[in-house]
């Protein structure tokens, strides 16, 4: 990271480096921020995105915790309520179940239960997604649980740019914000400004303009959707691709405006289709843009099983561009 | 701090205990009269613990509490009016009526909330203790929890982290012999929860939770240790609740014998303490009665304040979800 | 319960007694069944639905546990995998977060991860719902979390009849089944046959026939929906009310058949609307009955906040017949 | 059972250790060659623990394992072919390729699965132990877990329940000094995890986990106690993993010193054990070599079996979700 002068104000960074830079800037700008989690300090996280931070900020601001997810989130809640701005790490999103009570009953509700007297500026980073043959307990996308909990914000960046900007926005937000990263995206590259900038929480991004089909998605599926859009273009379908970026709050307006233009829509996520956030979004679309719709809102998500280990099975399990295209064709009757 | 309490402190502890006793007794009646909705877990019988510990704390020290939290809040300085208002669900309640008995709290008093989740307090208190150290203060966190709560994984994780980081925190286990209707012998094989302390690398101590002076002294040692940066202590106070698990009479189950209750009532912490104060010449029975009467009047005033407080306007329903 | 001879084969029972009877019959018919949970034995549960079972079946088959939700569910998983048929109790559904890892990563997935080699006949009873001024941590309906997890079945009975029949079906099922009961329904009365009978898991029940509006709901909201249907009748709307009973598997066929007849639908649940199961159901309806719909599928659920304590606030928070009627009128443009 | 192992038992333990060592070493190579997808946590260095404990168990006794689970399964009787097939994701794997390294399991051998969730084993083992007693057998459950896992709340809850119910279970903590890249001193303030035992009301013991006989003997005592209905034991085995946390070389972090590794390798459990067997005249170096060669051949055969096994048909994707 000591590449100071020579670097242009905007340069290509990987997703993992963008995360690293965001957290570094947060620690630099907020004297009450600290990073805590399993193997975040000595190892810089098993994904490497805290590399160098222990050295730069010292062991009171970047420290390893025991393998105690409930304790870790509790530490964050208690520290935040009493004036600090914790950045908490839960290594895999699959481990949410270990700390779901702290998240649900403390972090999300404390402010409300206290009549507004407590403020919980917590940023919780975690890692979602399949595709690395890590099997049923290290590949899940459980954001649907979190989006159902009033009091939390939830963001899922698809690009290095958004990863950095959303983490900074999360850390500056006075509410608990869950930042669910994606492990298959760690090596993705993209342009990232050097400065500390925010990607606003609650604002979707139209990553491809299109006229007659809307694909609403987030996290790694944005890239699959963009690829699908290209294939659809060859079929004469001009798809608009919306990267939600924030799931809670959800930028329904951007989604609805697009659907009102295109008259057809589909939601794509890596999470299990049944009960996933796609249901909420599809329900909102048909509710608010009923008369604009020329076809049902489609959904692509993982089928109804745990994530299988075997690479071939996993490949047929995880949503991808081909499945998006297939579902689009089905919807369009093409 | 490890010294014996001076006269002023003794009177202060007496005041705190009396405030709890009368508030809780009245709250029980109000509940039975249908004036307090929801679940109400009363602290009567355990007053020496809250009072003995809280006599050491300032508003800049943090506590986490339990579902049985009024006693902790009163001992930490809670006002009757705002407390009753909260129990009634009124807009002048400490939580504007949104929390109720199980979430009553006040950040300015350093009270991080009663909590409906058994075992939720310790991890939050670890965070508060971390804060105290991070800010380089000599402030501490104290987490109160029951014998039943000591079997939650959250207690374990918090205790280990506190000892690992040598945080300024005291774990106060109020062992009242029961988790709801389950006696301790049916929920853990140990007799002393304090036996768990060495497994985390912290000292453990058992103290008579009906003896406010004993609690005060033991808490003083633990708190001094914490403020000095020497790390946490697990302080177990043996105590008893005089009312049922919930409300006064509870569900009417016979899980405790009348004899057992009577035996513990013989050791009523306030009666014991007043005897002692009388012996020491610090407070004679007449003066004690005067304290009780004064507190009773404050309690009545608190109830009146609460009754006059308006119900929250439905328009506030969605306020306070986000900052 | 010693009222043997004189009782008719079908009689009125409360919901709480129906639960009790179901568990009693399960323990009687399955020698490997046992009941474990907090205060289930000595106290017969804080809701009273295990009353008398300790006495009848003894302490090896009905026993109290420590306050250790993760341990309790783990006990169930381990006992089930090794040949027993546990009935596990988690006192309030709000405490799911304490054992969500065991439910998500062990109970729901063990069979799949083991390639089908493990069988987990677990019945997990828990208590959902608001309305008793128990505030934010004792009033939640978190079924959306569970329905999103392949490997679990989820049922939520609305009546004494269904409570008994679904619990018996759950206990006879070789899969983990979560039975989420409702605390405001405990005193509801209804006809309940004496015999051990099953209500099939995965089959919805049309509790009111109607011609031009479909209300899809479950648990206590069934009763609110029925009342709403009466009020709607006065407005000339003949509503069909479907009690899903099972949420996973979901009886989509019954729902779709109804919508194809009525052309208008709405989903009602007590859970928070955003991210609740209503989204999934609405999405399915518009997907599979798009051309049959004359109006968007509506949804009624709790607003986006924790459950407030204050009785007035709670009343305005929890969905009810009036809100169902209002939403129906909005949808019908009436 | 508390007796010293007889010659047949010694040879049996040797066999188990050798099988683990060669399987794991080959698995590491295969992973580095890109033939094993996903995450692979190898057991090399810790063989004495699995072998010493499992020498006491039958298929009717249950174990729960960890993310580092191959050693446990091999010691419990796992076949190389089906194991490699699972690591490769093939249809003849123990889990039909659906589980992989982190979920490898075999119910017929009484092996309730490797587990990707740290700390998941103990509560499940409590359930298995409950089963053993419920069915009035003398069977037991053994749960293996790491020093890191001992900080999960799930361990705490399980240990408390096991002691409370006096279940036939042994808690075997494999303390290899690290949880991933975090040294024990940075994750708990205690040196001996066994110090946690008294807090649950069960005996705790520390044993040299590089000494298979010591493990065998200590496990024998604990298992006899369990089978006799006297309740659980927490047996801590001090050990070390010779490879990195994941794979052979891991992420290339330098969190352990070369000296530390070398010191522990000086005490290689198999070398130590073979020396002892030679001294006892039970197995001379030549015979030991023969064992290794025979096992190596079986490992190769296992790899061939696995390589010949077909990938699962995508049509099975949604099978096995429900019974
Ligand atoms: C996580 C969780 N589990 C269970 C409960 C139900 N519950 C409320 S109080 C209680 C007993 C608590 O016992 P203890 O910790 O000894 O405190 P006491 O009531 O004796 O003060 C239980 C089981 C809960 N509120 N939260
Ligand atoms: C609940 C949970 N938290 C974190 C992890 C990530 N993780 C995998 S292995 C491991 C270290 C485990 O340490 P220990 O229990 O000592 O076992 P060892 O690896 O040393 O055998 C961690 C933190 C996980 N798999 N599950
Ligand atoms: Mg208690
Ligand atoms: Mg370890």
> Which one, of D189, D275, D211, D202, lies nearest residue D235 by Cα?
D202
* pLDDT tops 60 at residue C6: no
* pLDDT tops 90 at residue C134: yes
Task: Look up the domain containing A264 and give its range.
Answer: 205-332
CA atoms within 13 A on the CB side of C87: 34
- Which ipTM score applies to this complex? 0.98
C178 and C218 fall within a common domain: no
Contact B26, B32 (CB under 8 A): no
Best residue for ligand 2 mutational test, from A36, A41, A45, A67 (most atoms within 8 Å of Cβ):
A67
**Is residue B3 packed enough to be buried (19+ CB in 10 Å), middle (13-18) or exposed (0-12)?**
exposed
**CA–CA separation, A309 and D87 (whole Å):** 9
Q: What is the DSSP letter of A250?
A: T
A183 and A210 fall within a common domain: no
For the domain that residue A268 is a member of, what is the CATH number? 3.40.50.920
- Other CB atoms closer than 10 Å to residue D304's CB: what's the count? 13
Q: pLDDT in tens for each of the 323 residues of chain D?
A: 456 899 999 999 999 999 999 999 999 999 999 999 999 999 999 999 999 999 999 999 999 999 999 999 999 999 999 999 999 999 999 999 999 999 999 999 999 999 999 999 999 999 999 999 999 999 999 999 999 999 999 999 999 999 999 999 999 999 999 999 999 999 999 999 999 999 999 999 999 999 999 999 999 999 999 999 999 999 999 999 999 999 999 888 989 999 999 999 999 999 999 999 999 999 999 999 999 999 999 999 999 999 999 999 999 999 999 99
Note the pLDDT tens digit of each residue in C165-189.
999 999 999 999 999 999 999 999 9
Q: Examine residue A199 and state whether it is found in any structural domain, yes or no.
A: no
Closest residue (by CA) to atom 8 of ligand 2?
D118
DSSP-based three-state secondary structure for A249:
coil
What is the pLDDT, as a whole number, of residue C284?
A: 98
What is the pLDDT, as a whole number, of residue D252?
A: 86
Nearest CA in chain A to D86: A310
A174 and A322 fall within a common domain: no
Q: Examine residue C139 and state whether it is found in any structural domain, yes or no.
A: yes
DSSP-based three-state secondary structure for C90:
strand
Q: For chain D, which domains are there?
A: 7-310 (3.40.50.970)
What is the pLDDT, as a whole number, of residue B252?
A: 86
Average pLDDT, chain B: 97
Which residues on chain C are in Cβ contact (under 8 Å) with D69? none
Angle, vertex CA C229, rays to CA C226 and CA C232, nearest 5 = 160
What is the pLDDT, as a whole number, of residue B1?
A: 44
Could you say which of A64, A136, A310 has the minimum Cβ distance to residue D97? A310
Q: Which residues of D124-152 are buried (b: 16+ CB within 10 A; e: fewer)?
A: bbbbbbbbbbbeeeebbbbbbbbbbbbbb
**CA–CA separation, B208 and D116 (whole Å):** 44
What is the pLDDT, as a whole number, of residue D251?
A: 86
Note the pLDDT tens digit of each residue in D221-256.
999 999 999 999 999 999 999 999 999 998 889 899
Determine the average pLDDT of the residues in C115-121. 98
Strands C85-90 and C33-37 turn out to be: parallel
Strands A177-182 and A153-155 turn out to be: parallel
Note the pLDDT tens digit of each residue in D49-93.
999 999 999 999 999 999 999 999 999 999 999 999 999 999 999
Domain edge (last residue) among C191, C214, C237: C191
> What does each C-alpha distance from D186 to A62, A67, A207 come to in angstroms?
13, 11, 44
Return the sign of the alpha-carbon dihedral for residues D23, D24, D27, D29. Answer: negative
Angle formed by the axes of helices D7-32 and D47-54, nearest 10°: 140
* pLDDT tops 60 at residue B308: yes
Note the pLDDT tens digit of each residue in A10-64.
899 999 999 999 999 999 999 999 999 999 999 999 999 999 999 999 999 999 9
Number of domains within chain C: 2
Note the pLDDT tens digit of each residue in C54-98.
999 999 999 999 999 999 999 999 999 999 999 999 999 999 999
Q: How far, in Å, is the centroid of ligand 2 from the Cα of A64?
A: 13
Q: Examine residue A200 and state whether it is found in any structural domain, yes or no.
A: no
- Other CB atoms closer than 10 Å to residue B107's CB: what's the count? 17
What is the pLDDT, as a whole number, of residue C333?
A: 87
Q: Examine residue A98 and state whether it is found in any structural domain, yes or no.
A: yes
Index of the ligand 2 atom closest to the CA of residue D180 = 11
Domain edge (last residue) among C141, C165, C191: C191
Ligand nearest to the CA of D66: 2
Q: Examine residue C6 and state whether it is found in any structural domain, yes or no.
A: no
Query: Is B156 near chain C, with CB under 8 Å?
Result: no
DSSP-based three-state secondary structure for B56:
coil
Q: Examine residue A175 and state whether it is found in any structural domain, yes or no.
A: yes
Note the pLDDT tens digit of each residue in B119-153.
999 999 999 999 999 999 999 999 999 999 999 99
What is the pLDDT, as a whole number, of residue B4?
A: 87
Dihedral over alpha carbons D196, D199, D203, D209 (to 10 degrees): -10
What is the pLDDT, as a whole number, of residue B6?
A: 96
Q: How many residues does chain B have?
A: 323
Strand partners, B244: none
What is the pLDDT, as a whole number, of residue A6?
A: 57
Touching chains, B (3+ CB pairs < 8 A): A, C, D
The binding-site residues of ligand 1, defined as CB within 6 angstroms of any ligand atom, are B 66-68, 116-119, 145-149, 176, 178-180, 245; C 38, 67, 69, 91, 95, 98
pTM comes to 0.98
Which residues on chain A are in Cβ contact (under 8 Å) with D317? 303, 305, 308, 313, 316-317
Active site residue C138: yes
What is the pLDDT, as a whole number, of residue B250?
A: 87
What is the pLDDT, as a whole number, of residue C7?
A: 56
* pLDDT tops 50 at residue C1: no
Note the pLDDT tens digit of each residue in B62-113.
999 999 999 999 999 999 999 999 999 999 999 999 999 999 999 999 999 9
Strands A213-217 and A239-243 turn out to be: parallel
Q: How many residues does chain D have?
A: 323
Where helices occur in chain B by DSSP H, the ranges are 7-32, 47-54, 70-75, 80-88, 121-134, 153-164, 212-227, 258-266, 269-280, 285-308
Determine the average pLDDT of the residues in C306-315. 97
A241 and A179 fall within a common domain: no
A77 and A175 fall within a common domain: yes
Query: Is D162 near chain C, with CB under 8 Å?
Result: no
Closest residue (by CA) to atom 8 of ligand 1?
B118
Q: pLDDT in tens for each of the 334 residues of chain A?
A: 444 555 568 899 999 999 999 999 999 999 999 999 999 999 999 999 999 999 999 999 999 999 999 999 999 999 999 999 999 999 999 999 999 999 999 999 999 999 999 999 999 999 999 999 999 999 999 999 999 999 999 999 999 999 999 999 999 999 999 999 999 999 999 999 999 999 999 999 999 999 999 999 999 999 999 999 999 999 999 999 999 999 999 999 999 999 999 999 999 999 999 999 999 999 999 999 999 999 999 999 999 999 999 999 999 999 999 999 999 999 998 6
What is the pLDDT, as a whole number, of residue B2?
A: 55
Q: Examine residue A197 and state whether it is found in any structural domain, yes or no.
A: no
Where helices occur in A214-320 by DSSP H, the ranges are 221-234, 252-262, 277-288, 311-317
What is the pLDDT, as a whole number, of residue A2?
A: 44
**CA–CA separation, C109 and A305 (whole Å):** 8
CA atoms within 13 A on the CB side of D19: 24
C183 and C213 fall within a common domain: no
What is the pLDDT, as a whole number, of residue A333?
A: 87
Nearest CA in chain D to A92: D117
Q: Which residue has the higher pLDDT, C266 or A4?
A: C266
Note the pLDDT tens digit of each residue in C198-252.
999 999 999 999 999 999 999 999 999 999 999 999 999 999 999 999 999 999 9
Count of H helices and E strands in chain C? 12, 14
For the domain that residue A163 is a member of, what is the CATH number? 3.40.50.970
Q: Examine residue C199 and state whether it is found in any structural domain, yes or no.
A: no
**CA–CA separation, C106 and C92 (whole Å):** 20
> What does each C-alpha distance from A72 to A88, A227, D141, D151 come to in angstroms?
7, 39, 30, 11
C28 and C159 fall within a common domain: yes
Determine the average pLDDT of the residues in B231-235. 98
Domain edge (last residue) among C129, C164, C191: C191
Which residues on chain C are in Cβ contact (under 8 Å) with A271? 148
C171 and C40 fall within a common domain: yes
**pLDDT cut 90: percent of chain B above it:** 97
C170 and C295 fall within a common domain: no
């Amino acid at each position: 990271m000591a590449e100071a002068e020579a670097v242009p104000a905007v340069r290509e960074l990987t997703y993992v480096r963008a995360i690293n830079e965001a957290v570094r800037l947060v620690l630099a700008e907020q004297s009450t921020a600290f990073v805590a989690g399993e193997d975040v300090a000595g190892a810089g996280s098993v994904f490497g995105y805290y590399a160098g931070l222990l050295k730069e900020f010292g062991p009171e601001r970047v420290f390893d915790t025991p393998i105690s997810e409930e304790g870790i989130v509790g530490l964050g809640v208690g520290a935040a309520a009493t004036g600090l701005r914790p950045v908490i790490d839960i290594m895999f999103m699959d481990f949410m179940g270990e700390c779901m009570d702290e998240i649900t009953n403390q972090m999300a509700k404390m402010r409300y239960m206290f009549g507004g007297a407590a403020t919980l500026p917590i940023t919780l980073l975690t890692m979602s997604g399949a595709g690395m043959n890590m099997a049923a307990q290290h590949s899940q996308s459980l954001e649907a649980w979190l989006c159902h909990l009033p009091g939390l914000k939830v963001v899922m960046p698809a690009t290095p740019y958004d990863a950095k900007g959303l983490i900074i926005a999360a850390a500056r937000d006075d509410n608990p914000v869950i930042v669910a990263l994606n492990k298959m995206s760690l090596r993705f590259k993209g342009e990232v400004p050097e400065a500390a900038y925010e990607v606003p929480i609650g604002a979707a991004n139209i990553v491809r303009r299109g006229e007659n089909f809307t694909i609403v998605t987030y996290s790694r599926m944005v890239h699959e959707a963009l690829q699908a859009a290209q294939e659809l273009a060859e079929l004469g379908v001009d798809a608009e691709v919306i990267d939600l970026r924030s799931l809670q709050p959800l930028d329904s307006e951007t989604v609805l405006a697009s659907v009102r233009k295109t008259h057809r829509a589909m939601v794509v996520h890596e999470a299990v289709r049944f009960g996933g956030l796609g249901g909420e979004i599809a329900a909102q679309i048909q509710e608010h843009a009923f008369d604009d719709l020329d076809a049902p809102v489609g959904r692509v998500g993982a089928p109804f099983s745990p994530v299988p280990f075997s690479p071939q099975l996993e490949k047929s399990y995880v949503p991808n561009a081909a499945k998006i295209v297939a579902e689009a064709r089905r919807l369009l009757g093409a | 701090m490890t010294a014996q309490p001076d006269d002023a402190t003794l009177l202060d502890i007496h005041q705190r205990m009396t405030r709890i006793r009368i508030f809780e007794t009245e709250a029980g009646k109000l509940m039975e009269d249908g004036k307090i909705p929801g679940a109400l877990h009363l602290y009567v019988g355990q007053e020496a613990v809250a009072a003995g510990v809280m006599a050491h704390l300032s508003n800049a020290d943090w506590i986490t509490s339990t579902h049985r939290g009024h006693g902790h809040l009163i001992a930490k300085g809670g006002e009757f009016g705002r407390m009753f208002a909260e129990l009634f669900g009124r807009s002048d309640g400490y939580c504007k009526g949104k929390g109720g008995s199980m979430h009553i709290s006040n950040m300015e008093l350093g009270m991080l909330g009663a909590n409906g989740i058994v075992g939720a307090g310790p991890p939050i208190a670890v965070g508060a203790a971390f804060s105290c150290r991070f800010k380089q203060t000599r402030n501490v966190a104290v987490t109160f929890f029951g014998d039943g709560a000591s079997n939650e994984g959250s207690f374990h994780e918090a205790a280990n982290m506190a000892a690992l980081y040598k945080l300024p925190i005291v774990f106060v286990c109020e062992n009242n012999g029961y988790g709801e209707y389950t006696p301790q012998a049916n929920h853990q094989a140990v007799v002393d929860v304090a036996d768990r302390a060495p497994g985390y690398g912290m000292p453990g101590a058992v103290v008579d939770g009906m003896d406010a002076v004993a609690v005060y002294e033991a808490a003083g040692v633990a708190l001094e240790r914490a403020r000095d940066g020497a790390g946490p202590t697990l302080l177990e106070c043996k105590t008893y609740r005089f009312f049922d698990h919930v409300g006064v009479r509870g569900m009417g189950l016979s899980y405790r014998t009348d004899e057992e209750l009577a035996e513990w009532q013989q050791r009523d912490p306030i009666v014991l303490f007043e005897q002692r104060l009388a012996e020491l010449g610090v407070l004679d029975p007449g003066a004690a009665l005067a304290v009780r009467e004064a507190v009773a009047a404050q309690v009545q005033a608190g109830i009146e304040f609460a009754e006059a407080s308006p119900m929250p306007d439905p328009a506030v329903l969605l306020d306070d979800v986000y900052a």
